[in-house]
Structure 1
């Protein structure tokens, strides 16, 4: 892990991302210059090999960098890593042409990218996707809709998962590289009561989108397994990001508690105030221990299904429990946008159904644990 790189990321997160994020929480959108600054640090190519223009770091560095960035803003960190993930995918053997075409724009921050799994009626049940890919005279023809996609409203490139066989057949799912400016693609933004501008959440319709054979980046029979492996990594770094948000909230509360006095003494000297901080610190330490274990397994290429699911459940639960309690501790002061509480609380709820909803993951952990014990 490169500490000098992480130090640069921390400086960028504190000095550039956090000040801008106060406006994102009330509907403003990140400026393109921020993506280019992230690119200049290497955040869009953390694990991309140096020979292909990246930094060549390992997964542990990716998770650590995202933890730091999420402490400033979860959505922006997710936006960056989704572009990074597509850049990394293009480095696989057999994709040299796509890498030559798209990597320069992705690594420079001039183009954003996304992974398109979720559909209006399909979330965690990946095998049920209804977007189809059928053989045509000139290659493949895609039809369907993707929704709730990070970077979906402005990405230029997507890896789209589509059913090449009969609906419901997980072995028939393939993955395709799609230029989102191509004819037949119609994009739209998705907003909610939680501000999602830094996530860039959106969706797109695919109507007769024609792709050449080389656009297939994962053949049927391999795509389903590949996405499950990628989801283990995603669950792990989402856990790290939740840890980062709780740490940022703790830092903010402790700094305020050192300055603000009540009944003649600093808030940090009041037993009830301190007890809340200590409870959050203890829960965070436990969550981080599970996250570290998952990071190690993913980095080693081990079967991280159980560790990743447990880490995500633990870290999301920690964030969803203690961020509101820390806000309550702060009182109305915590509502000021210069503090991270409100945007992190919203992000923790979003994290709870990103890359596998918490309730479904709990069932998965129970099954994996039972299988491990038999």
Structure 2
């Protein structure tokens, strides 16, 4: 899908921001709040939000391209920004005017961050099994339960929380609620792993009887499950784009290094054995980008993008996971230095393989959709 002239200009500014601001801060993330506000000033928290609601009214294609540019510098920051954007976009689509006016301005100008809360201790890809409960009370809903491994949960002031309004396991009973995470009945906790991605702000929270007004029911039971099944195709596509961005950044770094580093009297790039792994990565990156472009066009058109989004994410993630170690090896020990992206991108590629559906789950999806068994 082709970007408009205005979107192309926006992408150029976003790319410069990623290279000049995000990349230098990525190793330690000092001053991250200020960086988030700069991202918002570029429109990154309101790309798809209509201009009437204070956003940019631009396309999903620009969002996917922006995700690629941001992830080339830092995958975690890209995920953090796009998750705040997604909440702002969902509010603009579904929230009543009073709710939009209450929450949208602070999200769009970067004063606050937001998250979408699906994953729980006992449910991830099996979304229908969530145990967060929503009980109807006078004038609103009382929410009880816990969410885990949620991007931005450490610092987000707002969440779209998916909760079961009927019986556990009934996908038709799931609703989506706008929840103020600064409420006293909300308890947060951080979640860390050996793969450091501090910029994602990953954590969890427990809702201990938080009551939200009726107008904070964003998607009614019956709507929420169907909505997330469509939206996740867009998420898989932009995660695939992020993987392309990370691999492209690695290739850019390796290629520059290969021109200057001398080995046995000539540049590394003059040795065929050094060039071949780089060429293989370039080739697989081109294929991944073609799949991302096809999935982006299909999702943008409103068509069913289940198959292409799954294929794009599978191939982009696998390509990243396969080639990043080889490209690090091409740099030698120099590639381990924190100013280079290899170590953080290696960890991010593993996270990408789990986000919005694991590679194994998506392979099963492709097997069922691509060549379905004949009806007997």
Is 1:239–1:291's contact at 8 Å kept on the other side of the alignment? Answer: yes
Residues in 1 aligned to 2:241 and 2:94: alpha-carbon distance in whole angstroms: 29
Q: TM-score, normalised by structure 1?
A: 0.97
1:17 aligns with 22
Q: Which residue, out of 1, 10, 34, partners 1:5?
A: 10
Give per-residue Cα distances to partners, 1:174-196, cap 9 Å, x unaligned.
00000001121001111110112
* 2:322 corresponds to: 321
Aligned to 2:206: 205
Give unpaired runs (5+ residues) of structure 1. Answer: none
Q: For 1:135, what is the secondary structure of its paired residue?
A: strand
Q: Secondary structure at the match of 1:154?
A: coil
Instruction: Show structure 2 runs of 5+ residues with no match.
Output: none
2:162 counterpart residue number: 161
Deviation at 1:139, TM superposition (A): 1.6
Shift of 1:31: 2.0
Partners of 2:137 and 2:101 lie apart in 1 by 26
User: Superposed, which structure 2 residues align to 1:1-374 within 5 Å?
Assistant: 1=3, 2-24=7-29, 30-371=31-372
Shift of 1:97: 1.2
- Aligned-residue offset at 1:3: 1.1
Deviation, 1:373, is 7.2
- Structure 1, residues 202-235: CA drift from partner, whole Å, max 9, x if none? 0000111111111100000110000011100000
The SS at the match of 1:208 is strand
Which 4+ stretches in 1 moved above 2 angstroms?
370-374
Cα distance in structure 2, aligned partners of 1:333 and 1:369: 43
Provide Cα deviations, 1:324-367, integer angstroms capped at 9, x if missing partner: 11111111100001110000000000000000011111111111
Contact 2:241 2:292 in 1 (8 A): yes
Task: Give the C-alpha shift of residue 372 in structure 1.
Answer: 8.4
> Aligned equivalents of 2:349 and 2:122: distance in 1?
23
CA distance in 1, matches of 2:226, 2:106: 28
RMSD: 1.1
Write the distance in 1 (CA, Å) between the matches of 2:343 and 2:95: 45
Match of 1:92, SS state, is helix
SS at match of 2:204: strand
Instruction: Number of aligned residue pairs: give it.
Output: 370
Inter-partner Cα distance in structure 2 for 1:42 and 1:169: 38
Q: Once the 2 structures are TM-superposed, how far is the Cα of residue 30 of structure 1 from its aligned partner?
A: 5.0
Q: Distance in 1 between matches of 2:203 and 2:139?
A: 29
1:95 Cα deviation from its structure 2 partner: 2.2
Q: Secondary structure at the match of 2:102?
A: helix
Q: TM-score, normalised by structure 2?
A: 0.97
C-alpha separation in 2, matches of 1:95 and 1:152: 24
**CA pair 246-372 structure 1, distance change in 2 beyond 3 A:** farther
Q: Is the Cα contact below 8 Å between 1:238 and 1:351 reproduced in 2?
A: yes
Distance in 1, matches of 2:371 and 2:354, equals 24
The offset of 1:93, in angstroms, is: 4.7
Q: Could you tell me whether the CA contact under 8 Å between 2:237 and 2:292 is conserved in 1?
A: yes
Distance 2:95 2:27 in 1: 43
Partner SS state of residue 8, structure 1 = helix
Q: Does the Cα contact within 8 Å between 1:320 and 1:349 map onto a contact in 2?
A: yes
